[in-house]
Structure formats: C-alpha cells, structure tokens
Structure 1
C-alpha cells in the first residue's frame, strides 16, 4: 500500500562489512527525488554470531558459482535471514506498525565474497524466506545484474546520495560539488556536481584494518572514538606502504573486498601506533579520491561508523583544508548511521519502478542498469 500520492513506505536492511549487526531504516519515497526519512534502529549481533560470520569469509573463498553454499553457509544463511526477520518484527512493534503498512523491504544480506574481476558477488540472505516470514514483499540481490552488465557491483548507494544532495537545505545547498564519504569497513565516496553529474567508487580501507588491529591486540571490536589512535603516532613507512598500493594510482576504479588490504604484522607497530597509522591511511586514501574526479569538492559529508573516529576526521580535515569543508552527516540534517539502510529502502522502491540503480560513473556498468529480485510476501499466509 502506498502512503499517499506516489510514495511508498519501505524498510531498508543493511548488514555491512563490519559485521556488527543490522541497520534498519524506514522511509517514504517514490524511488526518485521524493524522500521522507523516518525512524531507524540497530540490532547488534552477539560475539559468537560475529565469529561465525568471520569464519564464513574463509569458507566462501571456495565458492565458484553464486548459488554454492559450502560448509555451514546454508545453515548460517537461514539463521542470518531469521535474525533480520526478528529485527524487522521488533522494529515494527516499536513503531506501532503492522506488516500491511509496509510496501516493501530492501534486503542487502551479508557479503561474504566480492570478486568483480570474476563478476562474482555473494550475499548471504534468503529473500524468499524473509518475505514469507514477514508477509511483506522483499527486494534483494541488488548487485548481481550490475555485474552481469559489466559493472563492479558496488557501490550502490550513490544514486541515493544524489537524491539527498538535491534536498540539502540552507547553507549546504550552495556547497557544490559535494562528496558523500561512507566510512564503513571499506570507504567509498560519491561525487555529485552542481549539475548532478554522479561519480562514485571505493576509496580504500575504512574501518576494517583498524577493527582487526585493535581486536587482535586489545581484544575489543573497534577503536571507540579513535581513543587508542589518539595515543599513537603515524608511522610514515607503514603508511606509505599502504598508500603506494597500485589500487590508488590505477586509472580504473575498482571495488574492494574486505581482505584486499592486510593488517600489519605484530612486530610492525605498537597497539597505539598501529591504530593511529591505520586511521591516517583511511583519511589519506579518501583524500586521494580527488585525483580521480573532475573538480575539487567544496563539501565533504561523512557517514558510516568511521565518522566517529576523531583521528580519521581530523586527518581528512587537514588533507582537504585548501579545497573544501568536512562535516558530519548530522550537521547537514542527515543520519550518518542509517543512511545505507535508508538507501536500501530507496533502492527497493526504485527497483519496483524499473529505474536505474547504477550508472557508468558509479560502478562502471556499460549503461544505466536496474536490478534486484522481488520475493512476494504480501497476500501470503504467514505462520
């Protein structure tokens, strides 16, 4: 059911490369320029389930066909899907909504393998199972069609960023070009010019190296607020080793997998120096993105968990001080935690309308491409 006019109420579900839980967000949208942002939430994974997801990354390396589920991946996929269903049920209960009041769910699932060179991407998550349990239509598998048409399959959020950029108000509306920076496990950027030209690509490691480093050396899942990094110093040799990677100078922008950059060896840095250096690498990699853009950005809007690491923010502010201004998403009236989940809701509605999700300037796809698979839930008998 539509909520009025051409707007549809949609819920987006995102489980990202940090594998810490499920982001949920609700919006009302036409899948184009009309976006009314609503409630959002987060359902965390317990430590044991996170370990199972981490092990799945190794198991998934054996996958050669997208439908393969070696080892315990089929069982894990079912449990992950059921956890998403439970998160939606809790969310709806808190918001006082019934399933019939939601038109569609955009379901990302959990990426366990992403090899653009082989046109192979695997997200654990059973869209049919989710739709049947909730009694709500589900759009899932949104990356595959882009890869079939020659794209990288990522990033998919840029088209939503462009819709948000068009809706920026007050002083921010005049600050173009604008770059949205999502600092998740992998960082990616979206460039939107004054005339809405869209460019997007992965910029390099985001939180993944820092998270792995502090987990190994301190037994904690992430460096909260950059507190550990703030006690260290940048090791220039280590930083330069990362930043001299051919990835940054290659003309073609490639999407990254969580394992494309390796964590430093134990002997290469102390806990604090390692965290500080990896924060610097994250920021420097983002700043390097400007070399692949037609014009310098006037405004950088930071989203994702990495925006809470003050060392990353400080380093990026210094690196871009002569060209633009760095702000957190919240300063522009946006939600930096729920933006990707919002995007998946928006993309689901856009998919239902048959509109493009990706473009040559975002994923390298040959021509604007729609995508997604629809699993029918509305009208089904739900146990």
Structure 2
C-alpha cells in the first residue's frame, strides 16, 4: 500500500481572483481526507499587474523569457503565494508537517499548437519560503504542464484524473460530466475507472468578467444578477459557435484570450446593453458545453459544476437548459466548488512524486499517459519536465 501524504495545493487561475490553498491527504489514487481550504483574494494592484503580464506575454516564444512586466509579475506572484501559504498555516498550524506542496503558478500564455505554455512562479524560491513555514522536510512540485506540452499534448486540462478519484465516492459508475468554470471552461468525462476524456470547451468567466468590468467597474457579475436581467442574443450565439474550435473533438485547450477577437468581431456586444451583453456571454459559456456533448462516448447522466462560475445562478440555469442534463454544483454532492482545483494540484503533486500519470491521450492528446512536474526537495531540483 502506498504512503498517504499530507498535500497542499496552491492555485491561481485565469480569472485572476486570488490564490486558492487547500489540503488533502492522499496516496495519489484515492482521497483519504479533505482538509481545510481558503481563498486569498488579490488586491486590485496585484490583479492589474497580472493582467499586464498576460498582455506582455502574448509575444513570448521562449517559455523561460520574462520580457516587459513579466519578471516583476513573477516575483510578486511568488511572494503572494508565499504569503497565502503563511496565512493558511498560521490558521491551521496542525498542518505544518505537510509532506508536499503542489504549486501551479500563474498561467500567462498557453499556446500548445506551438508547444508553448508559460506559468510564472519561482518554484525554488517558494520552496525555500515553505521550509521556513513548515517542519522543514516539505517537497514542492511545480511546472506540471510542461512535460505534457513537450511530448505533443495540449498541457490542459490536468484536473480530470482528480475528478476520477472524486467520482469514486458517488456510488455506481455512470457517465458523469465534471465542469470547471474558471476563466476558461473545461470538462472531464468520467465513466468508472476508464481513462478520462477531457477538454476545454470555451470561454467561461474571463470574457463576461472583463465585459462587466468595462461597463460597470465591478470585477464580476455576482450570482449572475446582471445577466439574469438581460436578453440573450441567439443570433450572436449562433455566429460565435461558428468558430472552428467548437467543431473539433477533444482533446483541445485554450488560452484565456483566445476568443476575445472573435467575440469582438462576431458578438455584437458594442450594440448591446450591459445586461444583454452579460446574458449573451453567459449563454455562450453554456452553449459551448452543449456543443461538446456530441463528441462524448455516451450522454452523461449528470453534470457537476465547480469553480467560481458555479456560484453564478444564471449560468447554472442556462447549463441545464442548453445541455438537458441534470446540473448540480460540487458543493451539493459533498465536494468543494472553491477548493477543487487547489485540491487537484495537491493530488497531482503526490502523483508526480510517485511517477504516476498526470495526463492521458484522452485528456490532453499526449501520445501515452504522461507524468510531469519539477520536484524541489532539500533546496535541490531533483527531477524536472523542462
């Protein structure tokens, strides 16, 4: 029997809301305990710097390059992750004996079509900070996407193997869709212990958040209230679904900004009210999920939504309407909508230590099941993927 490890995951997603920190106990195959989770919201100055870093990253061709504001953003992002970890362990000192930390970093560019994915974050620096906060024997695993991309995979999504572990607790195996609603939406199709099938489906929070912010100054559409008051432009949805991405089968993945130009050209948002624009972009997220169903081996019997978008009541309603599948939130089935991705990177870190696959042909298009991650132990990088 493999050792059960205490593992902390650190996740900052493409919505740029803040840093999620969560602890689980796992052997990398089953979850033996769900520990606490917390979100540490970014100050507006940090969030704006990260947005600028994403803009500066658009021309990057070397994943180790840090032009423009990227070097400053990497230092600040690493510092903020160290501060989040310190706050978490101050609140939960019993977990200072954590065995491993899974550190996602901050994605600023994702271009798998040219074998390029860039997550800023200084793993060795964070490992040094972690050793001052823990009992001193903690291993850190970071840069978990690079090996997959280098082998020809999409590098995303990586969470499906964790979704499969979660699904074991739901009773008899039946086709299930787990939907993560971050800046981009991605699905995991789970059917028992078969290798999962997964892909990004299209935009989620990123486009509607940016639209709402540009119109109102608010960071997001809380509970989907603005979209609820609007009317969906169905003709715009039909035009937007004409993008070639929606006609490709899984696996496939996206960058946060991939649809920005397409929506500006074909969405007609400039002529819409704020409510109608928010409603149309929210409906687009739901329609994108509906569009991927025809590529799955069987129709899922239930859909479980997680991530920040799972709090958007209007989006949840539209998902049910546009997929025809019973839609529940992760919280409603005993999981955690807010902590799931951080938990997943804790789980992936343990799998990386054991040399178990993080990705599969059906999730990222990698030629064979692929492990990954750079491991930092005792202040030495002992293995790596890049």
Structure 1, 131-140 or 352-361: larger mean CA deviation = 131-140
Structure 1, 140-149 or 234-243: larger mean CA deviation = 234-243
1:345 aligns with 2:341: no
* Aligned CA distance change for structure 1 residues 69 and 333 (closer, same or farther; 3 Å): same
Question: How large is the RMSD of aligned CA atoms in angstroms?
Answer: 1.6
CA contact (8 A) 2:124 2:379 kept: no
- The 1-side partners of 2:145 and 2:186 are apart by 16
Aligned ranges 1:158-173 → 2 under 5 Å: 158-168=160-170, 173=171
- The 2-side partners of 1:271 and 1:119 are apart by 37
Deviation at 1:199, TM superposition (A): 0.3
- The 1-side partners of 2:144 and 2:86 are apart by 23
**Which of 237, 243, 246 is the equivalent residue of 2:244?**
246
Aligned ranges 1:205-354 → 2 under 5 Å: 205-251=203-249, 253-262=251-260, 263-264=263-264, 267-321=270-324, 324-354=325-355
TM, length-normalised to structure 1: 0.93
**Which of 102, 109, 113 is the equivalent residue of 2:105?**
109
Aligned residues: 369
- The 2-side partners of 1:204 and 1:35 are apart by 33
SS at 1:256's partner residue? coil
CA contact (8 A) 2:251 2:363 kept: no
Q: Give 2:172's aligned residue.
A: 174
Ranges in structure 1 where 5+ consecutive residues have no aligned partner? none
TM, length-normalised to structure 2: 0.92
Deviation at 1:253, TM superposition (A): 3.5
- The 1-side partners of 2:174 and 2:252 are apart by 25
CA contact (8 A) 1:62 1:70 kept: no
1:229-249 Cα deviation digits (max 9, x unpaired): 011000112211211211111
Q: Give 1:183's aligned residue.
A: 181
Deviation at 1:98, TM superposition (A): 5.8
Ranges in structure 2 where 5+ consecutive residues have no aligned partner? 132-137, 381-386
CA contact (8 A) 2:168 2:192 kept: no
Structure 1, 151-160 or 129-138: larger mean CA deviation = 129-138
Structure 1, 79-88 or 262-271: larger mean CA deviation = 262-271
Q: Give 2:54's aligned residue.
A: 57
